[in-house]
Amino acid sequence: MPAPALPSLAHIDLSSGIIDPAAEVVERRLSDMPAWFQDQPAAQALLSENPVLYRVYAMAQPDTAGWRLATSVIESGRIGAEYYMTRGHAHVREDAPEVYLTLRGRGMLVMQSRTDETVVQVMQPGSINYIPGGWAHRTVNTGDEPLVFFAVWSIDAGHDYEAYAERGFAKLILAGEDGPRVVDNPSYVKAKRA
């Protein structure tokens, strides 16, 4: 039997979302995901500026089993009418759910089942979003300040990005005159399993 892990303590700055101590910080810029946005001329035009779209701060792990804890900080901005967003993924383990607790800002969580059912939930400070196993998820910052949320998921969930890079999500969140709108993705390719 491996030795039991020791208790650990970290701190989240509720405004910046920075976790201290963080084991890992992942930064995603536009150049990491230019093809993810619908408005390709707008994406190409912004590439020279190459803005940071989001960062993920993972808490130093106390253990090799159990839960992964991290904050995500999505910057405020748009590529054409599409808000800055995460790449989006599904967990490889279909029985691995995830919980998001929003700390700052305003956003939308797009969830999509393996059979292309879509649920979009609002994220605002205090929102607890439960993502069941088997549902792909992407977060979108629809506000004018950073969207900061805390996430908890199983350490061995695994992440499938490829399926969603290829076919994207069935719904897009676009800026409209009266705020964010959920619209059908015109380039969406249906799930092979559907």
Which member of 83, 84, 88, 123 binds ligand S6P (CB under 6 A)?
A: 88
92-111: which residues touch ligand S6P (CB under 6 A)? 98
The item of Zn ion, ligand S6P, none sharing an interface with residue 88, based on CB under 5 to 8 Å by kind, is ligand S6P
Q: Which is nearer to ligand S6P, 2 or 185 (CB)?
A: 185
Give me the phi and psi of 65, to 5 degrees please: -130, 170
Which residues of this chain interact with Zn ion, rule CB under 5 A? 98
Find where tokens 């292309």 sit.
116
Q: Does 89 bind ligand S6P (CB under 6 A)?
A: yes
Query: 71 by DSSP, 3-state: which?
Result: strand
Q: Does 70 bind ligand S6P (CB under 6 A)?
A: yes
The least CB distance from residue 88 to Zn ion, in Å, is 9
How far apart are the C-alpha atoms of 87 and 131, rounded to whole Å? 16
Q: CA–CA distance from 156 to each of 61, 65, 67, 152 (Å)?
A: 13, 8, 8, 12
Which member of 86, 112, 141, 142 binds ligand S6P (CB under 6 A)?
A: 86
The least CB distance from residue 71 to ligand S6P, in Å, is 8
Closest CA to 27 of 68, 70, 72, 77: 72
